[in-house]
Chain A
Amino acid sequence: MFRKIFILIISFLMVLFVSCKEKRGVVTFAVGGAPNEIEFWETLVKEFTRQTGIKVNILRQPTDTDQRRQGLVISLKAKKADPDVFLMDVAWIAQFSASEWLEPLDDYIKKEKINLDAFFNKVVNLVDRYKGKVIALPVYIDAGVLYYRKDLLRKYGYSEPPETWGELVNCALKIQKSMRKTNPNFYGFLWQGAQYEGLVCNWLEFAASNGGGIIFKDGKIGLNLPSNIEALQFMYDLIHTYKISPPNTFTEMKEEEVRMSFQKGDALFERNWPYAWALHQSEDSYIKGKVDIAPLPHFASGKSVSTLGGWHIGISKYSDAKSKAIKFLKFVISYGTQKKLALKLGWNPGRKDVYTDQEVLKKMPHLAKLKDVFENALPRPNLPYYTQISEVLQHYINAALAGKLTPEDALSQAEKEAQDVIERYERK
């Protein structure tokens, strides 16, 4: 009997070794995004292999940012050699760098003669550094912008887009009233207020343009500030008092919902990321040629603020093909590739110098304006546990927008819970 069991165990173990062994020394590139984006990466990778002879396998990831993070967290926590190089969302890059999962790039940058000044300095210094060392580089940048219907503004006698929130409200009220006569679905201002990360990005733009935002002092977080309360009250008023933002702003409105509504011609102003531009100008867009971009408005006493977004590229500390991976990274952030990303996908390159390229400017003329916006974009706190703080903020800001809490109550409770989070993660 025992001989039989022995044979059983041996055959069991043999079956296990049928499973594929991971190839050594091949660069695996993990990237997600919309299907058309991944298709484009595939062509890029083929070209890279043609140029350098280095083989790169694409590890296809989902579109959603949390799902992309999950795939990476599992590999990195298990210290796997694959994927070697991958893209990271600004929102959680700090978690990766603080967990020491990213390979420091300074030596490679020197060796491969990568010019750091070609990139947006503020972005690199605020996001891509950990303990002084560079651990990632920007592939593309995002920052909130104001889209506006230049045809409608002209028609109603406005020569410039509004610079303050007050001006925006007055302008929107007047035009909305008139437009409602023919289009009952018309709204003055669309923005993302649903309970998700995008809400924090929107809120920051309101609050920081009033001198507020997420403030840190002596290790304590400050949210319950007069500037924040005023900003949150304003956001509430946009929906419930002035009614220039639709009632489903805080239940459904995310990037795509806002974009599609604006693109149908149902709004005057839109707050969205730059990606919407290419879609607004597409052949079947109702607003083709009628829209323009401007920096976001600010409160009377403040300055215009855009929240920084975007994806950065880094190399795994456990990669078994680092020297090859760095060549691929260099390829992705090279001028040529960045220009292609701009022209083909409508992305905003991480390299400053592409913004003055004639061909790019012809296709995306608004990039000239955006360059300034990006240079001064406000990053979210670069903390490894930022996503937990964000969840607290999302919950309470949305509750205030829904009218369940007053702005002051919401912010003071958020401050308390966020402080608990900080204490948990900052305790030595």
Chain B
Amino acid sequence: MGYRTFSELKESYAFILPLIIFILTFILLPVLGTFINSFFRDISFLQRKFIMFENYKQLFNDSGFWEAIRFTILFIVVSVPLEIILGLIFALILNQAIPFRGFLRACVLLPWAIPSAISGRLWELIYNYNYGLANFLCIKLGISTGPINWLGSSLGAFFGVVIADVWKTTPFVTIILLAGLSAIPMDLHLQAKVDGANFLQRFYKVTMPLLKPVLIVALLFRTIDALRIFDLVYVLTHGGPGGVTTSLSLYSYKYFLAGDFGYGSAVSVMLFVIAFTLSLIYIKLGRFAELGT
């Protein structure tokens, strides 16, 4: 490595070129195109016109837009910590010497493996008011006296989406945290035991500090993914009832549906800006995490 002859350079670039071309053409170009389009009035039933920031001005006065932001942020704040906590518990268990670990691993992976659209249909049935699994269990286990209107009430729909998403994405967090856990050398645990620490103390003093960088990775990955949520809300609630579970992605999509590609593009650009900012933070924090280890 390190030969700097021209033909070597040409070769290195030739190898990476297909990748660059694909990403440039089918990711970067569309993003740029959408960005540019957001400055136009691009509506299927009107003449196309350059309107500069008009779409964005409208956006700031649009109560639907702010509701979408409110839901998206609330969703992140509620579901991500839940996933992390649950994922941590699952990872801790998987890290132990338990029988049929392969079986447990497969179980844990299954929710992640299926398409989110299909999981959405499944949970739609589970939340069915009259004969869904959720109400059946809630009543049988005494959690509530009567059936809960999951999909027809604001609170029910919100938590319905959260629970369905937690179910689907906890496996991913589990896997990452499990990798982090198994990277912690046994010696540290044994030493702490010798020093008289019980397992709770060991958890706080040994496990958590070493797990922190991995936790940060999981946290940020999940946050950015939760930000972009679309499949689940589209299938499970269609953004309802009354728009309370409309994520930013779904809000933008609704405008595409109405033929207003310009406005929809503007919404998606706002989402992009938020996601991009977060990912920059992630890369910065990730750098520090690497430096830390």
With A95-B44, A420-B58, A425-B43 already in contact, the answer to whether A77 and B259 are too (CB < 8 A) is yes
Interchain CA distance A69-B63 in the complex, whole Å: 24
Instruction: Judge whether B258 is part of the interface by a CB distance below 8 angstroms.
Output: yes
Interchain CA distance A67-B159 in the complex, whole Å: 24
Q: What 1/0 flags go to A48-69 for Cβ under 8 Å of B?
A: 0000000000000000101001
Using a CB-CB cutoff of 8 Å, which residues 359-417 of chain A contact chain B? 384-385, 387-388, 391, 394-395, 398, 417
Interchain CA distance A385-B44 in the complex, whole Å: 10
Interchain CA distance A394-B257 in the complex, whole Å: 18
Partner of A420, one of B46, B61, B241, B242: B61
Please state if A385 and B258 are interface contacts (CB–CB under 8 Å).
yes
Please state if A425 and B46 are interface contacts (CB–CB under 8 Å).
yes
Instruction: Judge whether A251 is part of the interface by a CB distance below 8 angstroms.
Output: yes
Instruction: Judge whether A323 is part of the interface by a CB distance below 8 angstroms.
Output: no
Please state if A251 and B153 are interface contacts (CB–CB under 8 Å).
yes
Please state if A66 and B241 are interface contacts (CB–CB under 8 Å).
no
Chain B residues whose C-beta falls within 8 Å of the C-beta of A100 in the assembled complex:
45
Chain B residues whose C-beta falls within 8 Å of the C-beta of A66 in the assembled complex:
238, 257
Chain B residues whose C-beta falls within 8 Å of the C-beta of A427 in the assembled complex:
41
Q: How many residues on B have C-beta within 8 angstroms of the other chain's C-beta atoms?
A: 24
Look across to chain A and name the residue whose beta carbon is closest to the beta carbon of B130.
Answer: A260
Please state if B241 and A70 are interface contacts (CB–CB under 8 Å).
no
Interchain CA distance A117-B227 in the complex, whole Å: 54
Instruction: State the Cβ distance, B76 to closest chain A Cβ, in Å.
Output: 24
Partner of A251, one of B46, B149, B257, B260: B149
Please state if A195 and B45 are interface contacts (CB–CB under 8 Å).
no
Instruction: State the Cβ distance, A101 to closest chain B Cβ, in Å.
Output: 8
Instruction: Judge whether A21 is part of the interface by a CB distance below 8 angstroms.
Output: no
Majority secondary structure of chain B interface residues (helix, strand, loop or mixed): loop
Instruction: State the Cβ distance, B249 to closest chain A Cβ, in Å.
Output: 15
Q: What 1/0 flags go to A89-116 for Cβ under 8 Å of B?
A: 0000001001111000000000000000
Chain A residues whose C-beta falls within 8 Å of the C-beta of B61 in the assembled complex:
420
Chain B residues whose C-beta falls within 8 Å of the C-beta of A194 in the assembled complex:
152, 241-242
Instruction: State the Cβ distance, B33 to closest chain A Cβ, in Å.
Output: 15
Look across to chain B and name the residue whose beta carbon is closest to the beta carbon of A94.
Answer: B45
Please state if B238 and A195 are interface contacts (CB–CB under 8 Å).
no
Please state if A99 and B240 are interface contacts (CB–CB under 8 Å).
no
Q: How many residues on A have C-beta within 8 angstroms of the other chain's C-beta atoms?
A: 30
Please state if B243 and A395 are interface contacts (CB–CB under 8 Å).
yes
Instruction: Judge whether A252 is part of the interface by a CB distance below 8 angstroms.
Output: yes
Chain A residues whose C-beta falls within 8 Å of the C-beta of B180 in the assembled complex:
none
Partner of A95, one of B63, B153, B258: B258
Interchain CA distance A395-B257 in the complex, whole Å: 19
Q: What 1/0 flags go to A321-365 for Cβ under 8 Å of B?
A: 000000000000000000000000000000000000000000000
Please state if A252 and B44 are interface contacts (CB–CB under 8 Å).
no
Instruction: State the Cβ distance, A392 to closest chain B Cβ, in Å.
Output: 8
Please state if B240 and A98 are interface contacts (CB–CB under 8 Å).
no
Instruction: Judge whether A242 is part of the interface by a CB distance below 8 angstroms.
Output: no
Q: What 1/0 flags go to B75-108 for Cβ under 8 Å of A?
A: 0000000000000000000000000000000000
Please state if B243 and A424 are interface contacts (CB–CB under 8 Å).
no
Interchain CA distance A385-B63 in the complex, whole Å: 17
Interchain CA distance A66-B263 in the complex, whole Å: 19
Interchain CA distance A394-B242 in the complex, whole Å: 8
Chain B residues whose C-beta falls within 8 Å of the C-beta of A300 in the assembled complex:
none
Instruction: State the Cβ distance, A72 to closest chain B Cβ, in Å.
Output: 10
Instruction: State the Cβ distance, B61 to closest chain A Cβ, in Å.
Output: 6
Chain B residues whose C-beta falls within 8 Å of the C-beta of A394 in the assembled complex:
242
Please state if A395 and B242 are interface contacts (CB–CB under 8 Å).
yes
Chain A residues whose C-beta falls within 8 Å of the C-beta of B240 in the assembled complex:
195-196
Instruction: Judge whether A73 is part of the interface by a CB distance below 8 angstroms.
Output: yes
Please state if B63 and A417 are interface contacts (CB–CB under 8 Å).
yes
Please state if B58 and A424 are interface contacts (CB–CB under 8 Å).
yes
- Residue with the greatest number of chain A CB neighbours at <10 A, chosen from B44, B54, B263: B44
Interchain CA distance A248-B256 in the complex, whole Å: 32
Partner of B45, one of A98, A387, A395, A417: A98
- Residue with the greatest number of chain A CB neighbours at <10 A, chosen from B46, B149, B242, B256: B242
Partner of B241, one of A69, A73, A195: A195
Using a CB-CB cutoff of 8 Å, which residues 164-216 of chain A contact chain B? 194-196
Partner of A77, one of B41, B44, B46, B238: B44
With A73-B259, A251-B153, A395-B63 already in contact, the answer to whether A99 and B44 are too (CB < 8 A) is yes
Look across to chain B and name the residue whose beta carbon is closest to the beta carbon of A426.
Answer: B46
Please state if A387 and B152 are interface contacts (CB–CB under 8 Å).
no
Interchain CA distance A259-B198 in the complex, whole Å: 62
Interchain CA distance A250-B129 in the complex, whole Å: 17
Chain A residues whose C-beta falls within 8 Å of the C-beta of B286 in the assembled complex:
none
Chain A residues whose C-beta falls within 8 Å of the C-beta of B241 in the assembled complex:
194-196, 251
Chain B residues whose C-beta falls within 8 Å of the C-beta of A70 in the assembled complex:
257
Chain B residues whose C-beta falls within 8 Å of the C-beta of A384 in the assembled complex:
44-45, 259
Chain A residues whose C-beta falls within 8 Å of the C-beta of B44 in the assembled complex:
73, 77, 95, 98-99, 101, 384
Look across to chain B and name the residue whose beta carbon is closest to the beta carbon of A92.
Answer: B258
Interchain CA distance A70-B256 in the complex, whole Å: 9
Please state if A95 and B45 are interface contacts (CB–CB under 8 Å).
yes
Instruction: State the Cβ distance, A419 to closest chain B Cβ, in Å.
Output: 11
Look across to chain B and name the residue whose beta carbon is closest to the beta carbon of A98.
Answer: B45
Please state if B45 and A99 are interface contacts (CB–CB under 8 Å).
yes
Using a CB-CB cutoff of 8 Å, which residues 199-256 of chain B contact chain A? 238, 240-243, 256
Interchain CA distance A365-B233 in the complex, whole Å: 43
A–B Cβ pairs within 8 angstroms, 9 of them: A73-B257, A99-B44, A101-B44, A252-B153, A384-B44, A395-B64, A420-B61, A424-B54, A425-B43
> Which chain B residues have a beta carbon within 8 Å of chain A's beta carbons?
41, 43-46, 54, 58, 61, 63-64, 149, 152-153, 238, 240-243, 256-260, 263
> Which chain A residues have a beta carbon within 8 Å of chain B's beta carbons?
64, 66, 69-70, 73, 77, 95, 98-101, 194-196, 248, 251-252, 384-385, 387-388, 391, 394-395, 398, 417, 420, 424-425, 427
- Nearest 6 Cβ contacts at the A-B interface: A195-B242, A98-B45, A99-B44, A384-B45, A99-B45, A252-B152
